[in-house]
């Protein structure tokens, strides 16, 4: 399954002329392209789908969605944090 996951922008920078950033998904941080939301600022929440920030949302909506992902067991699957079982 491939869902858009909400996260908080913690850093913004440029790579090869593209606006990029670090996004915190409730403790898991990933890089995302922010080009589709050029006015997005550090501290704001966005939905990231396949590495691209695609929409802005409130902190309340982001936290509620992350809680639902965790409850449904989809959080680790969507963010690639599942253990391989070799630990």
Can you tell me which residue has the tokens 């939905």?
Answer: 47
Q: Give residue 75's pLDDT band: very low, low, confident or very high (50, 70, 90).
A: low
47: left (phi over 0), alpha (psi -120 to 50) or beta: beta
Nearest to 27 by CA among 79, 64, 77, 73: 79
Instruction: Please tell me the pTM assigned to this model.
Output: 0.78
Q: pLDDT, tens digit, for every residue of 19-61?
A: 999 999 888 899 999 999 999 999 999 999 999 999 999 999 9
Domains and CATH numbers, the chain: 5-79 (2.30.30.140)
Of 58 and 3, the structure prediction assigns the larger pLDDT to 58
Residue 84: per-residue pLDDT: 41
Q: Give the number of other Cβ atoms within 10 Å of residue 52's Cβ.
A: 15
Burial class (CB in 10 A: 0-12, 13-18, 19+), 37: buried
């Amino acid at each position: 399954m491939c869902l858009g996951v909400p996260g908080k922008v913690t850093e913004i920078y440029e790579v090869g002329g593209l606006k990029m950033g670090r996004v915190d998904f409730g403790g898991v941080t990933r890089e995302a392209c922010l080009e589709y939301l050029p006015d997005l600022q550090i501290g704001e929440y966005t939905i990231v789908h396949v590495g691209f920030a695609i929409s802005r949302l409130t902190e309340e909506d982001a936290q509620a969605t992350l809680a639902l992902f965790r409850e449904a067991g989809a959080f680790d699957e969507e963010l690639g944090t599942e253990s391989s079982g070799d630990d």
